[in-house]
Amino acid sequence: MQIFCEYLYNKYSFSPQTKLKIKQKRETEGIKALIDYLREEKLLTEDQLLQAVAAYFEIDLFRHSKIKAAKNLKLQLDISQVEKYSLILLAEAEDEYLFGTLYPPDLFLEEKLKFKFKDKIKFYLMSEAEFNEAKNLIYSNYFQLDQQELLSELGDFKKIDSRDIDSLKNIVEDAPVVKLLNKILTEAISLKASDIHLEKKKNYFKVRYRIDGILKSYYNLPAEIAAAVISRIKIISAMDITVRHLPQDGKMEFEFQNSNYDIRTSVIPTIYGEKAVLRLLLRNDRLLKVEELNFSSYNLNRFEKIFNYNSGIILLSGPTGSGKTTTLFSILNRLAADKNNIITVENPVEYRLELLNQIEINEAQGLNFPVVLRSILRQDPDIIMIGEIRDKETAEIAVRAAVTGHLVLSTIHTIDSISAVSRLLDMGIAPYLISSTLNAVVAQRLLRKLCPECRKKRKLKAEEKNLLSEQKSKFFYQAAGCEKCNDGYRGRTAAVEVLLINAKLRQLISQQADYELLKSEAEASGMLSLADAAFEKLKKGITTREEILRVIEL
């Protein structure tokens, strides 16, 4: 049987470069990514794409059927499953459950659905417009608000002069807009989302949540709602509601179920309107103790050694959302005592500790990292925490503080612990200063944990067998999905790489040794790499190989 790429080449005309791109998409990312690519790049019309996919994968087209989406079915998929699988239960017909889909279903998904619905199932291929229309119909009651009332209330909004701030405030403080934003906030918190994305598109207003590090679509709301919701956010975040063509940052507070949240807000202009991102920070969140960080016993023992230092620099490395701040504050929580004068410089303050002197950056008022750091050196600090080392000036002040006997804690954006040395060199810090002040670098990533209720064993593939060479087990676990988790994962765990700078490493750093030599010495002295730490969790059935490949560069 000819492969799908060849089928497309024979049916439609593409340039050689496009053919190569199509082949690469199919081979490296799969059929879903290929279909998305064809659709987004408009290489085929929607009708051509649907006809090709339907014919090749032998799926009936929804538009040729007489099915109508039904709202009140006895069984239905959770909205998160609809978004994850781009699949929706449309109707029941005799002994069949009829599903609409944007992609040809894989065998695993098909078997999973047969088990769940205990009956025959049939798939219909839908266009994006058809799928969204059916989803909005079936899940229209998920938001408990009257959209017609909301649109009616917004009718005058578009007529108001943007300079008439009082009128704008009156409109966006009306009940429908307030109710919608509160609904989005409370739902995101209930789902343990870290971020909310509100995006104005050409014909709709998209709502997405980042949960366990993964951004997931939840709703496509009427486009007319966007301006009012974004304006509501801008007002309560102390932004300028009249400015719509420049980025703005702000913050707001929200209370839900007796917990207080600090919410960082960012609004940027896009070609279709303004986009807002809200980062949710639980103000009263209980700080984790060091032993609660989910480190392996081996890495925890290495990590504990950083508490032996009274001066020098300790860095936490990793991308945004990798848990650096949580780990950093677990360190500060242990160090916090009357005998220590601890001063932190943060943007923003995420955790509040009674025994710390915490300073929040305010760029608008000229209160930036260099300005604050130059001042706090005159405040007799024992320990200084800098939210992030991102430029030469901040790095130089951190090194100066370390040289003069202070303990400096900070974060840095690098792919692993060894790369932190290169990053400091790139900032212009002299090798001898790095070698004499840097004590430790802890690189980390957060991996989604398998749901213990539904994880399934699977046999090893040939290329995986060497990963378990030291164990008798010859299987891995894979994600399945159940009512408690939806997608097979629940919560996250940390994979860490603890680099402790010994005498040999200090010598190599001062000599500007290359990355490979530094890494070789670090591993020889006991450092477990990020990949090795992650695979240890794989062997224990905590996570999956797919999750490791998604998060860590191997």
Name the band, by pLDDT with cuts 50, 70 and 90, for residue 1. Answer: very low
Q: Which domain holds residue 214?
A: 147-282
Query: Does any domain span residue 537?
Result: no
Q: How many CB atoms lie within 10 A of CB 202?
A: 8
- Domain check: are 202 and 317 in the same one? no
DSSP line for 196-216: EEEEE-SSEEEEEEEETTEEE
Q: What is the pLDDT of residue 306?
A: 96
Residue 443: closest CA among 471, 422, 412, 466: 412
More confident residue, 522 or 67: 522
Q: For 482-503, write each residue's pLDDT tens digit.
A: 767 778 898 899 999 999 999 9
Peptide bond into 348 cis (omega under 30): yes
- Domain check: are 224 and 79 in the same one? no
- Domain check: are 165 and 119 in the same one? no
- Domain check: are 334 and 444 in the same one? yes
Average pLDDT over residues 306-329: 94
* Residue type at position 273: G
Has residue 313 got a pLDDT over 90?
yes
Has residue 507 got a pLDDT over 70?
yes
Tokens of 458: 């699977």
CA distance 381 to 376: 7
Domain stops at, among 238, 258, 282:
282
More confident residue, 148 or 27: 27
**494 beta partners:** 446
Burial 512-545 (b: 16+ CB within 10 A, else e): ebeeeebbebbeeeebbbbbebbbbbbbebbbbb
For the chain, give the longest Cα–Cα distance.
80
Q: How many structural domains compose the chain?
A: 3
Whose tokens are 């530094």? That residue is 518
Give the single-character DSSP code of 362.
B
Query: Does any domain span residue 415?
Result: yes
Has residue 39 got a pLDDT over 60?
yes
- Domain check: are 354 and 400 in the same one? yes
Query: Does any domain span residue 516?
Result: yes
Has residue 147 got a pLDDT over 80?
no
Average pLDDT over residues 431-458: 94
Cβ atoms 523, 529 nearer than 8 A: yes
**358 beta partners:** 344
Q: What is the pLDDT of residue 152?
A: 62
Alpha-helix residue ranges (DSSP H) falling in 305-385: 324-335, 369-376
- Domain check: are 189 and 43 in the same one? no
CA distance 230 to 227: 5
Query: Does any domain span residue 187?
Result: yes
Q: How many CB atoms lie within 10 A of CB 45?
A: 10
Tokens of 49: 């794409």
Q: For 368-393, write each residue's pLDDT tens digit.
A: 888 898 899 899 999 999 999 999 99
CA distance 350 to 329: 10
Q: What is the pLDDT of residue 150?
A: 56
DSSP line for 27-53: HHH-HHHHHHHHHHTTSS-HHHHHHHH
Task: Label each residue of 47-87 as H, E or C.
Answer: HHHHHHHHHHHCCEEHHHCCCCCCCCCCCCCCHHHHHHHCE
Has residue 157 got a pLDDT over 70?
no
CATH number at residue 346: 3.40.50.300
Name the band, by pLDDT with cuts 50, 70 and 90, for residue 209. Answer: very high
Strand 120-125: give its sheet, edge to edge.
Answer: 60-61, 120-125, 96-101, 87-93
- Domain check: are 307 and 438 in the same one? yes
Q: What is the pLDDT of residue 464?
A: 65
Cβ atoms 172, 231 nearer than 8 A: yes
- Domain check: are 63 and 111 in the same one? yes
Q: Poorest-confidence range of 43-52, 128-137, 214-223, 290-299? A: 128-137
Q: What is the pLDDT of residue 169?
A: 63
Has residue 75 got a pLDDT over 90?
no
Query: Does any domain span residue 479?
Result: no
Whose tokens are 């191997």? That residue is 554
- Domain check: are 264 and 175 in the same one? yes
Has residue 472 got a pLDDT over 60?
no
Name the band, by pLDDT with cuts 50, 70 and 90, for residue 173. Answer: low
Q: What is the pLDDT of residue 162?
A: 44
- Domain check: are 422 and 524 in the same one? yes
Q: What is the pTM of this model?
A: 0.67
| Element at 264 (helix H, strand E) | strand 259-270
Burial 321-330 (b: 16+ CB within 10 A, else e): bbbbbbbbbb
- Domain check: are 354 and 497 in the same one? yes
Has residue 183 got a pLDDT over 50?
yes
Q: Interhelix angle for 515-524 vs 419-426, to 10°?
A: 140
CATH number at residue 186: 3.30.450.90
Domain stops at, among 60, 93, 128:
128
**Pairing between strand 259-270 and 248-256?**
antiparallel
Residue 327: closest CA among 355, 361, 351: 351
| Cα first-last separation, the chain | 34
- CA angle (193 as vertex; 189, 194 as ends), nearest 5: 110
Whose tokens are 């930036």? That residue is 368
Has residue 156 got a pLDDT over 60?
no
Has residue 469 got a pLDDT over 60?
no
Average pLDDT over residues 464-489: 70
Domain stops at, among 282, 299, 326:
282
Side-chain-side CA neighbours of residue 415 (13 Å): 7
Query: Does any domain span residue 52?
Result: yes
Residue 551: closest CA among 213, 270, 297: 213
- Domain check: are 152 and 272 in the same one? yes
Tokens of 373: 């750091």
Q: For 237-249, write each residue's pLDDT tens digit.
A: 999 988 889 999 9
Query: Does any domain span residue 72?
Result: yes
Average pLDDT over residues 31-54: 88
Q: Interhelix angle for 515-524 vs 503-510, to 10°?
A: 180
* Residue type at position 449: K
Give the single-character DSSP code of 227.
H
CA distance 477 to 351: 35
Q: What is the pLDDT of residue 343?
A: 96
Query: Does any domain span residue 443?
Result: yes
Which of 16-30, 129-143, 455-469, 513-527 ranks highest by mean pLDDT? 513-527
Cβ atoms 251, 362 nearer than 8 A: no
CATH number at residue 71: 3.30.300.160
